[in-house]
Amino acid sequence: MEFAVAATVAAILIGMLLSRLSGYQGEAERVALQYTVSGMRSALQARLAQARLPGHALNLAQLAEQNPLELLERKPKNYLGEFYSPDVRELAPGNWYFDRDKKILVYLLNEKGIFGDSSLKLLQFKVKLSRLPTSPAKPSSAPEIPGATLEQLNG
């Protein structure tokens, strides 16, 4: 009788522990994803700032077509590579890949619902070009300063 009670209590405690660990795993995935995205955004802004220096040219059109993970010094360990029209069902969740046809960076969610939408299975990112609006007060000889941002396309 004592053994049955001890086993029941142990099973309840293990169940509570496993449910807590699942929540921590989803939170860890969310934080790692945000860390990688913020690193890419910072690297993109640094590249744009460097291009504004004399003698440093940057082809923005080429930058918009490029894999944003190429901006990082080291790619994440969960980066699968570049693919042409991949079948998402064949790729493991919790990983990054770059779709060369669509020119988008994709993250396959491991934990559904960590970003609010429980049906969301992947997050897509793309470098988009932006131009500051021309001001009537701006002298005509002033150069136009183009920019770029890493935007999330869904989610």
Q: Which residues of the chain have pLDDT under 70?
A: 111-120, 131-146, 155
Phi, then psi, of 5 in degrees rounded to 5: -65, -45
pLDDT value of position 138: 56
Tell me whether residue 10 is in a domain.
yes
Long-range Cβ contacts of 88-94 (<8 Å, 24+ apart): 88/121, 88/122, 93/121, 94/29
Tell me whether residue 137 is in a domain.
no
Tell me whether residue 40 is in a domain.
yes
Tell me whether residue 140 is in a domain.
no
pLDDT value of position 82: 92
- The two tokens of residue 147 are 């920019």
pLDDT value of position 50: 81
Tell me whether residue 30 is in a domain.
yes
pLDDT value of position 47: 85
Per-residue model confidence as pLDDT tens digits over 79-123: 999 999 888 888 888 899 999 999 999 999 886 655 555 566 888
Number of structural domains in the chain: 1
Tell me whether residue 139 is in a domain.
no
pLDDT value of position 141: 56
Domain of residue 46: give its range. 1-132+145-153
Tell me whether residue 112 is in a domain.
yes
Neighbouring-strand partners of residue 124: 106
Tell me whether residue 138 is in a domain.
no
pLDDT value of position 120: 66
CA-CA distances (angstroms) from residue 37 to 27, 34, 69, 75, 84? Answer: 15, 5, 9, 12, 22
